[in-house]
Every structure is written in C-alpha cells, then in structure tokens.
Structure 1
Amino acid sequence: MYLFGASGHCKVIIDIIENENKQKIDAILDDNPKNNTLVNSNVIKPDSVKFKATDSLFIAIGNNYIRKKISQLYKLKSPVLTHPKAIVASSVKIGEGTVIMAGSIINPDVIINKHCIINTGAIVEHDSVLESFVHISPNASIAGNVEIKEGTHVGIGSCVIQGVKIGKWVTIGAGAVITKNIPDYAVVVGNPGRIIKYNKEYE
C-alpha cells in the first residue's frame, strides 16, 4: 500500500491505518518531498515506483482539485479508511479513497462518493448525498437530505440546514451558516451565508 502526499494530512491518514491495524505502508509518494521520512515511512518520488496491479494507493491530500487530478493519473484501487472512533451507520454507502476521521458521525442512508474527506468531528445526517472529492472540515455539520456536488469544500465549524443543495466546486468559509441552495463555484461566508465571489471553473 502506498500513500500520496507527505503532509500533515498524511500524518492523520497514517494514524488511522495504524489504529485500524491495516496493511503495511510501503512508501509515501510526493512530487516535491521535503523530508526522506514521515512518521517512520519512507518518502519517495512517484516515478521511482513500478506499480503492480495488486498495489493500492490512498491519496492523502486535503486539496480537492489536486486529489482529483492524482486519482486520474493513477488507476490503482484505493481503500476506504475509517477511524475506529468514528460512528458510521450500517446503511451508509462509501466510495473508494474516502476517509472518515475520528469523532465524525455519519447517520443512516448517507451516500458518500469517491475520494471524500469527512474530517475530525464532522457530522453528516441521514439521507444526505456527497459527490466525489468533497471535503467536510472538522466540526462542520450537514443536516439531513442535503446534496453536495463534486469538489466542494465545507469549512471548519460551518453548518448546512436540511434539504439544501450545494453546487460543485463551492467553497464554504469557516463558521458559515448555509440556509439556501448554493450555485456551482460560489465562495460563501458568514451567517447567513452570502456569496462573495466565484471560484474558477475546473474541468
């Protein structure tokens, strides 16, 4: 098993793997490594590895756009990682490459697609749907029946009321309160949330 991205986020991923007693980490891949090791794992450049079909790769990068680009470059299987102190209902569906961090709560019939991050202490309530490459930051709360499209980043401590639809590649600022639908690419801050600008359109 390989990890991609020798960062602080990767340290959290390593901790989850160790807590879950999963397979050995062969190496951490990074295009511009600052150190040769991270948490006792070797850090190497990606082009130094000849992958086998049986290898797995977990993308340990917080940036949604970069995580998507790397997933398109490497066609390897990617595990779902769940911290043992997370609470995940049995009916939740989770796509490959997604991480569920410590203290988070995922309630019944939630659908979380590929390569998402449900960060420390986040809550995703019943029947919500998260598309791929979404990041729910620490202590953010998503109420029931919310839809969040691809690549959206929900900031630390923010909350989204029930039934809201949030577009793709949206950025929701720290502590924002989302009470109505948000269009694609919007940057939203405040309570109640207001759009202050738009992100560029990712392909």
Structure 2
Amino acid sequence: MKKSKKLVIYGVGKFADFIIYSFMHDSSYKVVAQCVEETYISKIPKTDHEFPLVNFDDLEKKFNPDEYELFITVGDDRVRERIYRSALKKGYTLATYIASSAIYPKNLKTGDNVYIGEKTGIQPFVEIGNNTFIIAANIGHHSKIGKNSLLSVCLLGAEVQVGKNTFIGLNATIKPKIKIGSFNIIGMNSKITSNTPDHAVFSEPATKIHKLSYKDINGKYL
C-alpha cells in the first residue's frame, strides 16, 4: 500500500506498538515519530518507542500540522481526551484507522482519532464518536458509541447507546436497546440487560454493580 500521508503517534509502550503496527501495515499512513509531553520524556526508556521521541508541547514547530497528522494512543480516556483537545488547538488533523479486514457499512459515521481494529463487525446505521477505540467488537445496527470510549472484544445488540468515556471489556454482552451511561466501566464477561447510570462499574458473576465508581478505578484497566 502506497504511503501518501505522514503520521505522528502520541504515546509509547505496547499499546502504542499495537496501534503503530496497524497504521504501518494496513493504511496509507507512514509513521515518522512518537511524542509525549515534556514532563514524561526523560522517564521513558528507549525500548518503549520504535520511532524518534519528540516533545508534544512544541510538536507543531517540528511537525507542521499542514503536513503531518496525529493519532493519540492512550488507554486512559481522561488523558486521551485532554491530549485530543490540545492537539486540536495546535491545528492538527486527527487520523482515523479502520482495518481492511473489519466488516462495516458504507454509511458508518465516525469522528476523528477513531480506531476500528481487525475482527470488528459493525452493522448499518452505527455512529462512533470522536477519540474512540473499537477492538474486535461486534456492534448491532443503529447503535451509538459515545466519544472517548473503548470497546474491546465485546458484543452490543441493536440500538444500544453507549455514553461518553465508557469502557466495555472482553466478552461483555449488552442487550439490544440498552442505554449505557457515561463514565461506565463494564468488566469482562458482564451481561447488561437494563439501562445503567453514569459513573457505574460492573463485573461478573451475575453482573454485579459495585459501590466503586468510575473515578475510583479509571486508568487501571489498560
């Protein structure tokens, strides 16, 4: 595949490695550098980044937003959202990746800084918000996925609405027409059969809702 676009990746480590591999081997993008905020640069081992590591704080001075696009590879939704806003202020276009092997309709609506990985299946009339990652998930028709969310190897029935900044984990199943609140963490193997409030945390067995909130454990699941 011809590499016609130049891309800088925000992020380091194994999650960034995973995203970089997708762009390098299955897109028209050529990754040229990685970046993080200046506070973190001195703390990052060379083994944690494949490409030259540069300072995000003044990134636009070295990588002109008119020539380079940016993709943010951060698992923590709060950090990803903050960097996303900063990138837009700097004038960057945020790339979107859709795997060539993903199954999705022509009328799929996505925002920017969206990742849709291999083995993902999306039915018609689905909408995916900005800054959201879909990794090997199956999403039923007419569903809406909120911004800053991450869905990993899960199953959503038709007409499901997922609020912003929500994580849905491995083998979780969401019943059709359910409304998932914002800032939810739905753990591995959970089965959601009724609407959920904001800031809720769920896990198996029998899909238990915890007294812990999203704020208590956010950033610790990826």
Q: Kindly provide the CA deviation profile for residues 165-184 of structure 1, in whole angstroms up to 9, marking residues without a partner as x.
A: 01111000111111100000
Aligned to 2:17: 11
Gaps of 5+ in 1: none
Partner of 2:64: 52
Give the structure 1 partner of residue 214 of structure 2: 199
Give the structure-2-normalised TM-score.
0.83
How many Å apart are 1:191 and its aligned residue? Answer: 4.6
CA distance in 2, matches of 1:83, 1:162: 25
**Do the aligned partners of 1:2 and 1:29 also contact (CA within 8 Å) in 2?**
yes
Out of 6-15 and 91-100, give the one that drifted further: 6-15
Which residue matches 1:167? 181
Percent of paired sites with the same residue: 23
How big is the shift at 1:48?
5.1
Which residue number in structure 2 is paired with residue 64 of structure 1? 77
Which ranges of 4 or more aligned residues in structure 1 deviate by more than 4 Å?
A: none
Contact 1:99 / 1:116 at 8 angstroms: preserved in 2? yes
More helix by share: 2
- Matched length: 200
Letter in 2 for 1:59: I
Change (3 A) 1:20 1:161: same
Contact conserved, 2:202 with 2:208, CA < 8 A, in 1?
yes
The secondary structure found in structure 2 opposite 1:88 is coil
Does structure 1 conserve the Cα–Cα contact (< 8 Å) formed by 2:13 and 2:49?
no
TM-score, structure 1 normalization: 0.91
Rounded to whole Å, the distance in 2 between the matches of 1:40 and 1:186 is 37
User: Bigger CA drift: 51-60 or 110-119?
Assistant: 51-60
2:51 maps to amino acid:
S
Query: C-alpha deviations, 1:23-48, integer Å up to 9, x for none?
Result: 22221112324233656422223235
1:130 lines up with 2:145 in the alignment? yes
1: CA distance, partners of 2:106 / 2:47: 37
2:32 to 9, 26, 33: 26
Decide which moves more: 27-36 or 79-88.
27-36
1:20 to partner: Cα distance: 2.4
Q: How far apart, in 1, do the equivalents of 2:36 and 2:83 lie?
A: 11
Matches within 5 A, 1:106-185: 106-119=122-135, 121-137=136-152, 139-185=153-199
Aligned counterparts of 1:96 and 1:53: Cα–Cα separation in 2? 15
